[in-house]
Structure 1
Amino acid sequence: MQMEHIQARTLHARRGTLKNVFSYGVDFVLTDLEEATPRLMSRNRFNLWSLWDRHHGGARRGGQGMAWFREVLDSRGFQSEAAQLLLLTQPSFLWFHFNPVSFWIALIDGTPRAFVAEVNNTFGQRHCYFCAHEDFRTIRPADTLIAEKIMHVSPFQRVSGVYRFNFNISETKIDIRISFEDGDKGVLATLSGHRRIATDKSLMWAAARRPFGALRVLALIHWQAAKLYLKRAPFLKRQPAPTKAITVSQNLGRASE
């Protein structure tokens, strides 16, 4: 496949008595890490935009790239050689890299059969959530895959409750919904955008329209945190990192036919 540039929109809506909602544009790429890239995008070397294997797949700053995802799938009985394996992520901009979440995706016949949400927090920690049906059948948009929250992400949310994942990838669009639920509290996060071939023009436009890439995203995260702090939201200091690297979805819910 050709690398794709997903000019996406993300929305975060806080649940509970203290409300906070924001939405902003963000640039992702969808890639198998093998195809040729536009001139403004490089793999494992400096450019305006870059993808570095060390940033993905395994320990933070010690990643193994696609080899890690293939090993994760094979260890759970999924025949990775029969699938198309992709990474949906924000590329590094110049020297700067930060991804709140990336997604490793396994497709068979164009339909998603398994994915890993690779979650990073601003404290330097990483935890991954592996989601699939037990028989690796197609994950439909109406299917809800549930995993226990393990890692501290927001200082304004406890390390408890569950994530509910809804994942939709079609030939033209990506639409991901993650609902963190902890009693009557939590956060709804969505990511959606159209799939288009990445070009030098689209990458240059992204740099001009949303300058500094992931650095801008990090700044927006801290801006929203400052707003919550001023609203006197309960603040939880940094918590210990998870003792395991991957949490597997435990319960699978399906919407009514």
Structure 2
Amino acid sequence: MLDHVAAHTFHVRRGTMKNAFRYSVDYVLTDLDEAKPWLFSRNRFNLWSLWDRRHGGPRGEGRGVAWFRELLEARGFPVARAQLLLLTQPSFLWFHFNPVSFWIALIDGKPCAFVAEVNNTFGHRHCYLCAHEDFRPIARSDRMVAKKLMHVSPFQTVAGRYHFNFDLNERAVDIRISYENGDQGVLATLSGPRRPATSGSFMRAGLRRPFGGARTLVLIHWQAMILYLKRAPFLKKQPAPAALISESENLRVPGE
């Protein structure tokens, strides 16, 4: 299964320093079976591609879906009944950067656990595992709460919490992430329709939004420059988190 999600992402700052932006971005939702469109490949170069080593585990040393499966099994999740998916921004030619990908476990078509695989521009990664204690389906109205542990933006401290609202159905993806630290923070959304991926859809995406992750990286630095010119407080690079994985407050299991 390979779906192309022509999505939009929206970011707005909370607090005294205002800034907001919205842009389009291409994601794929896949069960990591062999890809069929000839402009898309797994683990080999193409116009668009997906590489196992870039997901599931330490950054650059990923093991793909095997990592996600082992993570769930260690916590007693009923993996045998689940469909395991990856929602991510694929590589475009040689360019790759993905601020956040999502590993998703579905049971009977409903998300029951997910991992937000977050990367920053300093080469660090942290994975936030979100689920209910009994692994019941995660409804769109459920707030999955996780303590922020990794430095992402030089304009936000490593404090506070992420509040995830997660909705994945047969028609669309709709994810809301609210970072809250007192009266400061950021609201970020990712939403778009699910459609079967085709070489035509990938060709159109390459023409409308060329360079994929490189374009995302440029947009991130552009917004950082805007905040810098607005004299937003700027923090130097922070150390990487000690652990790769942390669990949401909804999931009461021992940490790794």
The bucket for the TM-score relative to the shorter chain is over 0.9
State yes or no: 1:162 paired with 2:161: yes
Cα shift at 1:80: 1.1
Superposed CA deviations along residues 179-220 of structure 1, whole A, max 9, x for unmatched, are: 000000000000000000000000000000001111000000
Alignment of 1:185 with 2:184, yes or no, is: yes
Whole-Å separation in 2 of the counterparts to 1:232 and 1:155: 12
Q: How many residues are treated as equivalent by the alignment?
A: 251
Letter in 2 for 1:61: G
Q: 1:156-179 deviations in whole A, cap 9, x for unaligned? A: 000000000000011101100000
Q: 1:18-167, aligned counterparts within 5 Å?
A: 18-167=17-166
Report the Cα distance in structure 2 between the residues aligned to 1:22 and 1:63, rounded to whole angstroms: 31
Root mean square deviation of aligned Cα: 0.8
For 1:76 and 1:234, how far apart are their aligned partners in 2?
A: 40
Residue identity matched to 1:204 = M
* 1:188-207 aligned within 5 A: 188-207=187-206
Does the CA-based 8 Å contact 2:9-2:23 persist in structure 1?
yes
Query: What aligned pairs does 1:2-17 form with structure 2 within 5 A after superposition?
Result: 2-17=1-16
TM-score (ref. length: structure 1): 0.97
- Cα distance in 2 between the residues matched to 1:11 and 1:131: 22
3-state secondary structure, aligned to 2:143: strand
Matching residue's letter, 1:14? R
TM-score normalized by the length of structure 2: 0.97
1:251: how far off?
4.0
Asked whether the 8 Å contact 2:133–2:250 carries over to 1, the reply is no
Task: Name the CA distance, whole Å, in 1 between partners of 2:194 and 2:61.
Answer: 29
For the residue of structure 2 that corresponds to 1:143, the secondary structure is: coil
One-letter amino acid of the counterpart of residue 68, structure 1:
W
- Runs (4+) of structure 1 exceeding 6 A deviation are none
Residue 255 of structure 1 corresponds to none
Alpha-carbon displacement from aligned partner over 1:104-148 (angstroms, at most 9, x marks no partner): 000000000000000000000000000000000000000001000
The Cα of 1:96 is off from its aligned counterpart by 1.2
Partner residue in 1 for 2:217: 218
Counterpart CA distance in 2 for 1:142 and 1:218 is 31
> Residue 192 of structure 1: SS of its match in structure 2?
strand
> How far is 1:35 from its partner?
3.7
Q: Which amino acid aligns with 1:99?
A: N
Amino acid at match of 1:207: G
SS of 1:135's partner is coil
Secondary structure class of the residue paired with 1:76: coil
Partner of 2:254: none
Q: Distance in 1 between matches of 2:140 and 2:53?
A: 31
- Give % identity: 69
SS in 1 for 2:162: strand
Asked whether the 8 Å contact 2:117–2:127 carries over to 1, the reply is yes
CA shift, 1:40, in A, is 0.4
Contact 2:131 2:250 in 1 (8 A): no
Letter in 2 for 1:193: G
Q: Distance in 2 between matches of 1:76 and 1:251?
A: 13
Structure 1 residue 56: Cα displacement: 0.1
Measured in 1, the distance between the counterparts of 2:170 and 2:51 equals: 26
Secondary structure (helix, strand or coil) at the match of 2:80 reads helix
User: Structure 1 stretches of 5 or more lacking a match?
Assistant: 253-257
The amino acid that maps onto 1:91 is P
How far has the Cα of 1:81 moved from its partner?
A: 1.8
**How far is 1:36 from its partner?**
3.0
Q: Residue 206 of structure 1 aligns to a residue in which SS?
A: helix
